[in-house]
Structures are given as structure tokens and as C-alpha cells.
């Protein structure tokens, strides 16, 4: 299995999805070796985690979030920084070397950063490759074509792949639309969540101001995610202005960082809602969990979200969700509110309705939590396992 | 005395609330005017149901009345559907009048707005029953003698009320949990009453037509009039078979393609082959038979769901909060004497609004049991509450504090 990250060294949902899928697959009598581009301790016992490292490098350090540079410490003690494209090329080279020394039946690679490496292995070993698409470039670029180099890697990789897995119907459609891959080559295997794996809340909520304001009748809208074009936050701020005009006791908590950080802060001020919108930067651990818990509504306004784990995490921490209809999660979750990402009036209407009615919030979360508790990765791992068997037996699809 | 089929059909359409947002609250009061192409358009739904159900069914009922002197039917028609027929399908309303002109069609009393007012405000309930009576007198020239409450929601208190109000009969669900070994195929008397008689829906036979008729998985499919009449004749002691169902069973819940109209046309012929068989209206059966026993229903029983209670309308906090808040406004609304405001407030009492907010089946994906114009129960609640706040806004505008 070729991947870019695993928890606790993940920057987002990709690492968690890989981790949970492998954990569920390991129960199906499969031996998995997971190759990441960096060296770190993961504390994982259900599969081997290998760092793909070229010979002259003694260690690789991954910085905080995806798309940042990697620091290489060479065997002679010198340091070297690599950008994402160079890093990708190096990963391909390293995986190629690893593959020469290994015996395996199938290669399963996650997202474009690993696609070239997967193709290299196919070239060397001739084994089937399955490419798992957690997002396509047009998702990340906010419905634009995006980076042409990435576009090309996805295009070549997806055409060369023996099978393609998409994390939702939404993503499958995007793959067909953007790359002209035949529909029957693409299998939808939806991500999920393991309710028992969520770290429980503990102690007082760290958002003391918000907790206090709630006792005065204020209600809190939360968003957690990268502040990047894909996530659609400007629309949430436009909606926030309208919400506050109807439900003035509404506060917005935005947790995350990214290239839009400063732009969004300035925008909130410009809309005259600076006092109601709190930016809390990127958070991990307790501050991350408490952000979900302090909310009365979690909003995911993404322009395009292949799956969307955050609403499920919010529900796990007791907060109902409003999700964009342009998301994978809106295909599966029934007890949530849904809105087109571009429909700012309707987004404001739905947020306001929850802010004005605790009954609506309580009924939404009660039913959503029930759905959440019944979710698991078992179905996904079964589908993937069957896909492996089909490939290895050579049966027609 | 001959054995009777008592066919009773319930005709109703609510005023569905349009997609009404927080931005409409305080700005627009046209709650029920959805665009014609939307699923909440009352005009569109009414015209569709008129075409698929009211007109073709009434045509067949009229033919049956003309061809079989013994054929009779009872109807309940809410005020909200009569208003909509007047506006958007006068030919359907005329066809109901034509049925009544035969003298063998009886109209049953109920609340004008198809509300659950009995459980929240006795004064409002009585007002709506009276409004309905006057509307029926005006349109059909009859005065209802037998009462049915919305959703057949019934308990001992309701029976006492109807007894004192002078009704000769009242309708309820023949639910096993209440009846025990007793059969619904007789006339009963509610406990603690002196005059009034109780007719109990035979839900097994009624649901064979209303729910199971077109279901090919059903062991008895296809249900023919011959087979159905035979089932009835297998109960030698029964005096009356109470077949109560939504009128829209014919052509809407069960489509024409299912053969439901043919069933309706053939049932009287098959049943009346035996000269000891007949049809009766609800009043007739009450006049014809004495009660065989008393029925005690301290808890409210309805004709809905496997629970047969009010949980489909009042079972979750969104439902119970919104209906309570609505009735809280009663005195202030009535005191305004603003007829448009009072009318809007009453239209919001229609039980369908609360049914649309039901979350019981939503997670299971059992949308079939779920006749709602809204995508989710949450949307139904949001629209309702935005309208409710607008009603509050209109009171405040008049200087009436909340």
C-alpha cells in the first residue's frame, strides 16, 4: 500500500482514511506493508509501516500539513529541503528500489502523490495496481482545473490503473468528467468512521469565552478544516452576515489554517461581523475536540468534498451538521441539513433556524448520533477485499 | 336484519407551507403560496389528486349509486380541502355534490382544519367543529350526525364530549390492544356515555384495500371483489363491516393500474349477490343495531402506524414544541379580530404539518410511509417555525406583547 501519511502524522482526512481502511483490511487475513515517504513512529501493529528512503538519506522529517516541504537529513549530516514535486519524484524512486526487494500480489496507492510510484512498481513487477482517489485536482482547486502537472499525473495514472476506487459517487463523477475514465472501471467505496476510535472529551472546554456566552443565550457555529479555496469559507462568512442579522446571538468559530487565513479575517471585519467570528488557527488534540463539542452546529460549506469526515467527527462529539450537497458525506448521512455551497441565502436560513431552535438542534443530533454509531469500516474493507480477489483471479469485472 | 358494509372515505388536503425562510419572516405573509412547479404547491397537488383520484372515483361512485339502489357511502371532507376544491377544481366539488344529491351519501362531522385541537384547546376545537358543520350545510345541504376526530384520534373524553354535543355516533380505530377478543364488526357504546354509539374500523379488511391492494409480494395478491366479499361472508355473526380509509386510496395511494377502480366497481355487485347483504351509511348502521357491549379507551388511539398513538404527530421535541407554541398564541390571535391572521393561524393547526416533522422512519429510509413534500423532517420544522415567528411578528406589529 502506498500512502502519503498516517496518524498521528497526518494533516487531514487522507491519513485517517488510510489508517482505518488498513486496520479493517488486516482483519481479513491480508498482509499489508504501508510505505510512507517519511520516517516516524506510528505505534501501528496491524501492518508494517515502512519509510521509503533513498540510500544516502538518514532521515526525512515531515512538517505540519500537506503540500509543505520535507526536510531531508543526509548521511553526511547535511540538510536538504524538498518541495512537493521533488519529494514525489524521490518517493517514486525510493518505492521502486523497495519493490525490487519485496514479494507482493497487488499495489494499492492513495491519491496523486503516490500514483507515479505505483506506475513504477507496475513497470518493474507487472502486478496489478489499484488507485484510490480521495480527491481529484479539481476538488482541491475549487472546481477549477488546478495544477496542470498534477492534472497530468492523475490523468496518466488513472488511465494506466487496473482499477480505480473513488470515495463517493461525487468523486466518481468527477473522475469521469475530468479524465474520461470509463464508469465501470471505477468502484465507489465510501469512507466511514469507527465510533469507538474517537478520543473522548475530557475536562472543561478550552473555549471559555464561547462556553460563557452560551449561558447568555448565544449559540455557536463551528467549522474545522484547511482555510483553502476548496473548503468554501467565503460563502460561510457571507451567510454568517445574514445569520447575524436574524439571530444576533450567533458566534462563529473557525478552526484551521491555510492560504486564505488572512483574507478571511479581513473579510469578516469588512462584513461588519468581526466580533462574532473567532479564528482559532490550526489545532490538535483537546483544543481540536473541544472545538467540535462547543458548537451547536457544524458547517461544512465545501465547494467540492470527495467525502468529508469532519461532519461525522462533529456528530461524534455531539454537534449536528449542515453539509454542502457537493460532498460525499451528503450521499450517506440522512439526519443532517444539506445545502448547495453556492446558495448563501439558504445556508443562512438553515443556520439561523438551528440557532433559533434548540429543539431542532437536539432532534438532529439525537438521530444523527444513532446513524453515526452504526457506521464502521467493515463494509468498505469487504468491498476492497473483493476488488483484490477479482484482480488476482483475473475474472472479468 | 341484513349484514352491512359501512364504507367510509376520508377526503383531505392540507395547506402545505412553502419554502419559507428566516428572511421571509417579518417580510412576507404568503405562507401557503408555493411556486406551481414546487412539491409544496397546493394548487398543483390538488389538481393532480383531482385528476387521479377525485374525478375518476366520484364518476364510479355515482355509477354505483345509480346502478345499485342499496349502495351507500359515507364521506368526511375537511374544510381545507373544500376551500381548495372551490379554488382549483370546482368540477371535483360538483362531483361530490352530485353524489350527495343521490340521498345515499352521508357526510361525517370533524374539525374544519383537520387539527388536533381537541388535545390542546376545547374552545378552539368546538369552534372548528362548528365551522365545519356550517360549511357542510352550505355546500352539501346536510347536517352531520356522526363525528370523527382528526386521524381517528379517539379516547373516552372525546366520546363523552361527542355524546353531550348531540352526535348519535362516533368513529374510532378497532385496535386489538383495546378490543382484545371483541370483534369490530358490531356496534358498541363508549364507556361513561348514555346515547352515543361507537363504530370501530376493521383495520385488517380496510388495510387490505388501502395498503396491501397493489402489493405483489402480498400472499393474497391479486385481491378481487369476489374474494373480498367471500372473506366478509365468513363471519356469520357480524352485523357490520366498517371499511374506513383515506379517499385517496382510490387512484392516488393505489394507482389506477393496480385495478383498484375495478375492485370498487365490482365489490357492490359481488356483495349484493346475497340478498341478506346490504350497504349502510354510518348513521343507518347506528340506527339499525343496538350496542353489543361497552368499549373503554382511556388512552388516545389513532389509525396511524403500528403504535396507533399520536407519536407520528407529537412524538419528537420539534413536533411537541411547535404545536404547544402555536396554541399558546390562541387568546392573543382571537382577540385581534384580524380574520386573515386567525385564518393563517388555523391553517397551521392542520395535523399534516406536524406529521411532516416526524423522524420515526426517516433513518430507516422508509420513505414510502412518508407522504411529505419536504426532503427531510427538519426542513418541515424550519419552514413551520419561520412562519410561526411571522405570526408572532404580526401580533407585535399590532402592539400585542407576546
Q: For the CA atoms of chain B, what is the radius of gyration?
A: 21
Out of B362, B386, B389, closest to residue A334 by CB: B362
| Contact at CB, A349 and B23, closer than 8 angstroms | yes
pLDDT for res A370? 95
| Contact at CB, A352 and B22, closer than 8 angstroms | yes
CATH code for A196-373?
A: 3.40.50.2000
Bridging pattern class, strands B187-190 and B197-201: antiparallel
* CB of A63 less than 8 A from some CB of B: no
Cell numbers linked to A176: 469521469
Alpha-carbon distance B200 to nearest alpha carbon in chain A (angstroms): 35
| Contact at CB, A348 and B321, closer than 8 angstroms | no
Cell numbers linked to A385: 477485499
In angstroms, rounded to a whole number, what is the distance separating the alpha carbons of residues B307 and B151?
A: 13
Taking only the tens place, the pLDDT of each residue in B284-310 is: 999 999 999 999 999 999 998 888 999
In angstroms, rounded to a whole number, what is the distance separating the alpha carbons of residues B215 and B210?
A: 11
Alpha-carbon distance A341 to nearest alpha carbon in chain B (angstroms): 17
Residue recorded with cell 374510532:
B172
Does this model's pTM top 0.80? My answer is yes
Confidence of residue A68 (pLDDT cuts 50, 70, 90): low
DSSP state, residue B254: B
**Mean pLDDT within B197-226:** 95
| Contact at CB, A353 and B321, closer than 8 angstroms | no
Which long-range contacts link B64-71 to residues 24+ away (Cβ below 8 Å)?
B64/B264, B64/B265, B64/B268, B65/B99, B65/B102, B65/B104, B65/B105, B66/B102, B68/B268, B68/B269, B68/B272, B68/B279, B70/B268, B70/B272, B70/B278, B70/B279, B71/B104, B71/B268, B71/B272, B71/B279
pLDDT for res B364? 60
Q: Which residues have CB under 8 Å from A186's CB, separation 6+?
A: A163, A164, A165, A166, A172, A175, A176
Q: How far is CA B276 from CA B2, B70, B236, B271, B273, in A?
A: 5, 11, 11, 9, 9
Pair B190, B294: CB distance under 8 Å: yes
**Domain with residues A13-192+377-393, CATH architecture:** 3-Layer(aba) Sandwich (3.40)
For B385, name the nearest residue in chain A, comparing CA atoms only: A353
- Residues of B in Cβ contact (< 8 Å) with A348: 22-23
Instruction: Please measure the distance between the N-terminal and C-terminal CA atoms of chain A and give it in whole angstroms.
Output: 22
Confidence of residue B368 (pLDDT cuts 50, 70, 90): very low
The partner residues of A35 in beta bridges, in order of sequence, read A2, A50
Q: Give kind and range of the element (H or E) at residue A73.
A: strand A70-74
The domain locations on chain B are 3-295, 311-397
Q: Which residues have CB under 8 Å from A262's CB, separation 6+?
A: none
What is the number of other CB atoms lying within 10 angstroms of the CB of residue B37? 7
| Contact at CB, A348 and B382, closer than 8 angstroms | no
**Mean pLDDT within B195-217:** 95
Q: How far is CA B336 from CA A173, A266, B342, in A?
A: 56, 48, 8
**Is the pLDDT confidence value at B49 over 60?**
yes
Alpha-carbon distance A337 to nearest alpha carbon in chain B (angstroms): 8
pLDDT for res A249? 97
Out of B22, B359, B375, closest to residue A353 by CB: B22
What is the number of other CB atoms lying within 10 angstroms of the CB of residue B194? 9
**Is the pLDDT confidence value at A300 over 70?**
yes
In angstroms, rounded to a whole number, what is the distance separating the alpha carbons of residues B371 and B39?
A: 11
| Contact at CB, A349 and B389, closer than 8 angstroms | no
Pair A309, A17: CB distance under 8 Å: yes
Residues of chain A with CATH 3.40.50.2000: 13-192+377-393, 196-373
For B363, name the nearest residue in chain A, comparing CA atoms only: A334
- Residues of B in Cβ contact (< 8 Å) with A242: 23
Counts of helices then strands in chain B (DSSP H, E): 17, 10
Share of chain A above pLDDT 70, in %: 97
Of A101-110, A250-259, B365-374, least confident by mean pLDDT is: B365-374
Q: How far is CA B397 from CA A293, A311, B237, in A?
A: 39, 40, 63
| Contact at CB, A346 and B382, closer than 8 angstroms | no
**Mean pLDDT within B165-174:** 98
Q: Considering only residues 363 to 382 of chain A, which have any Cβ-Cβ distance to chain B shorter than 8 Å?
A: 363-364, 367, 370-371
The overall average pLDDT reported for chain B is: 95
Q: Considering only residues 214 to 253 of chain A, which have any Cβ-Cβ distance to chain B shorter than 8 Å?
A: 242, 246-247
In angstroms, rounded to a whole number, what is the distance separating the alpha carbons of residues B167 and B174?
A: 20
pLDDT for res A120? 95
pLDDT for res B86? 98
Pair B282, B146: CB distance under 8 Å: yes
Active site residue B126: no
Cα-flanking dihedrals φ and ψ of residue B252, to 5°? -115, -60
Residue recorded with cell 385528476:
B51
Q: Considering only residues 326 to 365 of chain A, which have any Cβ-Cβ distance to chain B shorter than 8 Å?
A: 334-335, 337-338, 345-346, 348-350, 352-353, 356-357, 359-360, 362-364
Bridging pattern class, strands A70-74 and B169-173: unpaired
Query: How many residues are listed for chain A in this entry?
Result: 397
**Mean pLDDT within A82-102:** 88
Pick from A218, A194, A214, A216: nearest CA to A205? A214
- Residues of A in Cβ contact (< 8 Å) with B385: 353, 356-357, 360
Burial category of B340 from C-beta neighbours within 10 Å (exposed 0-12, middle 13-18, buried 19 and up): exposed
Alpha-carbon distance B382 to nearest alpha carbon in chain A (angstroms): 6
In angstroms, rounded to a whole number, what is the distance separating the alpha carbons of residues B236 and B78?
A: 36
CATH code for B3-295?
A: 3.20.110.20
Instruction: Please measure the distance between the N-terminal and C-terminal CA atoms of chain B and give it in whole angstroms.
Output: 59
Q: Which residues have CB under 8 Å from B176's CB, separation 6+?
A: none
In angstroms, rounded to a whole number, what is the distance separating the alpha carbons of residues A5 and A32?
A: 15
| Contact at CB, B21 and A349, closer than 8 angstroms | yes
Cell numbers linked to B31: 405562507
| Contact at CB, B317 and A371, closer than 8 angstroms | no
- Residues of B in Cβ contact (< 8 Å) with A246: 22-23, 25
Bridging pattern class, strands B73-77 and A321-324: unpaired
Q: Which residues have CB under 8 Å from B317's CB, separation 6+?
A: A359, A362, A363
Catalytic residue (one of B83, B124, B151, B252): B151
**Is the pLDDT confidence value at A298 over 50?**
yes
- Residues of A in Cβ contact (< 8 Å) with B386: 349, 353
Taking only the tens place, the pLDDT of each residue in B228-263 is: 999 998 898 999 999 999 999 999 989 999 999 999
- Residues of B in Cβ contact (< 8 Å) with A371: 363
For A347, name the nearest residue in chain B, comparing CA atoms only: B21
**Mean pLDDT within A256-272:** 92
pLDDT for res B370? 56
Confidence of residue B367 (pLDDT cuts 50, 70, 90): very low
**Is the pLDDT confidence value at A372 over 80?**
yes
Amino acid at each position: 500500500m502506498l500512502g502519503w501519511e498516517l496518524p498521528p502524522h497526518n494533516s487531514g482526512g487522507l491519513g485517517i482514511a488510510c489508517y482505518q481502511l488498513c486496520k479493517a483490511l488486516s482483519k481479513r487475513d491480508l498482509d499489508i506493508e504501508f510505505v510512507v515517504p517519511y520516517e516516524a513512529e506510528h505505534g501501528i501493529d496491524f501492518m508494517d509501516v515502512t519509510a521509503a528512503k533513498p540510500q544516502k538519506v538518514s532521515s526525512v522529517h515531515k512538517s505540519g500539513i500537506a503540500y509543505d516541504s520535507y526536510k531531508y537529513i543526509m548521511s553526511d549530516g547535511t540538510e536538504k529541503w524538498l518541495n512537493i514535486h521533488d519529494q514525489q519524484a524521490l518517493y517514486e524512486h525510493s518505492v521502486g528500489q523497495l519493490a525490487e526487494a519485496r514479494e507482493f500480489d497487488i499495489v494499492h496507492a492513495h491519491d496523486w502523490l503516490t500514483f507515479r510510484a505505483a506506475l513504477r512498481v507496475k513497470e518493474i513487477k507487472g502486478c496489478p495496481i489499484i488507485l484510490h482517489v480521495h480527491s481529484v485536482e479539481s476538488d482541491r482547486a475549487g472546481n477549477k482545473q488546478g495544477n496542470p502537472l498534477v492534472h497530468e499525473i492523475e490523468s496518466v495514472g488513472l488511465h494506466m490503473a487496473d482499477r480505480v476506487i473513488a470515495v463517493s459517487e461525487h468523486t466518481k463523477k468527477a473522475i469521469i468528467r475530468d479524465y474520461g475514465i470509463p464508469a465501470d472501471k471505477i468502484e465507489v467505496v465510501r469512507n466511514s468512521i469507527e465510533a469507538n476510535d474517537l478520543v473522548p472529551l475530557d475536562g472543561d472546554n478550552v473555549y471559555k469565552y464561547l462556553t460563557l456566552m452560551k449561558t447568555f443565550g448565544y449559540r455557536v457555529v463551528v467549522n474545522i478544516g484547511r482555510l483553502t479555496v476548496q473548503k468554501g469559507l467565503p460563502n460561510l462568512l457571507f451567510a454568517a452576515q445574514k445569520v447575524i442579522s436574524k439571530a444576533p446571538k450567533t458566534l462563529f468559530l473557525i478552526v484551521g489554517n491555510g492560504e486564505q487565513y488572512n483574507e478571511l479575517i479581513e473579510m469578516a471585519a469588512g462584513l461588519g461581523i468581526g466580533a462574532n467570528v473567532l479564528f482559532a488557527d490550526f489545532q490538535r488534540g483537546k483544543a481540536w475536540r473541544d472545538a467540535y463539542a462547543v458548537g451547536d452546529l457544524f458547517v461544512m460549506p465545501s465547494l467540492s468534498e470527495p467525502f468529508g469526515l469532519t461532519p461525522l467527527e462533529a456528530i461524534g462529539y455531539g454537534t449536528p451538521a449542515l453539509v454542502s450537497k457537493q460532498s460525499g458525506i451528503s450521499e450517506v448521512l440522512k439526519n443532517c441539513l444539506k445545502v448547495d455551497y453556492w446558495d448563501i441565502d439558504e445556508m443562512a436560513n438553515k443556520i439561523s433556524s438551528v440557532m433559533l431552535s434548540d429543539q431542532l438542534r437536539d432532534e438532529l443530533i439525537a438521530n444523527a448520533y444513532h446513524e453515526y454509531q452504526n457506521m464502521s469500516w467493515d463494509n468498505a474493507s469487504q468491498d476492497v477485499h473483493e476488488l483484490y480477489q477479482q484482480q488476482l483471479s483475473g475474472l472479468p469485472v | 336484519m341484513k349484514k352491512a358494509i359501512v364504507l367510509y372515505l376520508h377526503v383531505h388536503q392540507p395547506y402545505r407551507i412553502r419554502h419559507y425562510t428566516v428572511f421571509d419572516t417579518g417580510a412576507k405573509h404568503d405562507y401557503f403560496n408555493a411556486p406551481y412547479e414546487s412539491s409544496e404547491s397546493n394548487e398543483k397537488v390538488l389538481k393532480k389528486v383531482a385528476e387521479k383520484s377525485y374525478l375518476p372515483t366520484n364518476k364510479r361512485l355515482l355509477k354505483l349509486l345509480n346502478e345499485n339502489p342499496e349502495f351507500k357511502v359515507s364521506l368526511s371532507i375537511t374544510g381545507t380541502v373544500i376551500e381548495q376544491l372551490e379554488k382549483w377544481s370546482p368540477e371535483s366539488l360538483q362531483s361530490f355534490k352530485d353524489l350527495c344529491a343521490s340521498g345515499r351519501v352521508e357526510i361525517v362531522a370533524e374539525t374544519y382544519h383537520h387539527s388536533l385541537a381537541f388535545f390542546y384547546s376545547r374552545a378552539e376545537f368546538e369552534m372548528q367543529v362548528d365551522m365545519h358543520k356550517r360549511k357542510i350545510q352550505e355546500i352539501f345541504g346536510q347536517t352531520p350526525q356522526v363525528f370523527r376526530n382528526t386521524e381517528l384520534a379517539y379516547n373516552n373524553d372525546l366520546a363523552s364530549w361527542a355524546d353531550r354535543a348531540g352526535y348519535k355516533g362516533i368513529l374510532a380505530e378497532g385496535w386489538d390492544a383495546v378490543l382484545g377478543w371483541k370483534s369490530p364488526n358490531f356496534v358498541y357504546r363508549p364507556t361513561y356515555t348514555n346515547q352515543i354509539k361507537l363504530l370501530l374500523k376493521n383495520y385488517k379488511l380496510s388495510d387490505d384495500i388501502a395498503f396491501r391492494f397493489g402489493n405483489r409480494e402480498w400472499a393474497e395478491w391479486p385481491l378481487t371483489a369476489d374474494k373480498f366479499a367471500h372473506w366478509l361472508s365468513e363471519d356469520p355473526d357480524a352485523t357490520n363491516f366498517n371499511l374506513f380509509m383515506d379517499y385517496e386510496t382510490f387512484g392516488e395511494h393505489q394507482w389506477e393500474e393496480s385495478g383498484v377502480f375495478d375492485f370498487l366497481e365490482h365489490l357492490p355487485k359481488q356483495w349484493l349477490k346475497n340478498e341478506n347483504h346490504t350497504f349502510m351509511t354510518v348513521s343507518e348502521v347506528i340506527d339499525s343495531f343496538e350496542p353489543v357491549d361497552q368499549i373503554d379507551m382511556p388512552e388516545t388511539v389513532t389509525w396511524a402506524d403500528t403504535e396507533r398513538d399520536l407519536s407520528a404527530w407529537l412524538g419528537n421535541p420539534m413536533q411537541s414544541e411547535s404545536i404547544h407554541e402555536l396554541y399558546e398564541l390562541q387568546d392573543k390571535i382571537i382577540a385581534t379580530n384580524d380574520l386573515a391572521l386567525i385564518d393563517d393561524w388555523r391553517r397551521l393547526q392542520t395535523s399534516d404539518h406536524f406529521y411532516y416533522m416526524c423522524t420515526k422512519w426517516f433513518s430507516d429510509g422508509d420513505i414510502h410511509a412518508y407522504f411529505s413534500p419536504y426532503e427531510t423532517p427538519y426542513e418541515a420544522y424550519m419552514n413551520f417555525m419561520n412562519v410561526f415567528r411571522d405570526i408572532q411578528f404580526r401580533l407585535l406589529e399590532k402592539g400585542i406583547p407576546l
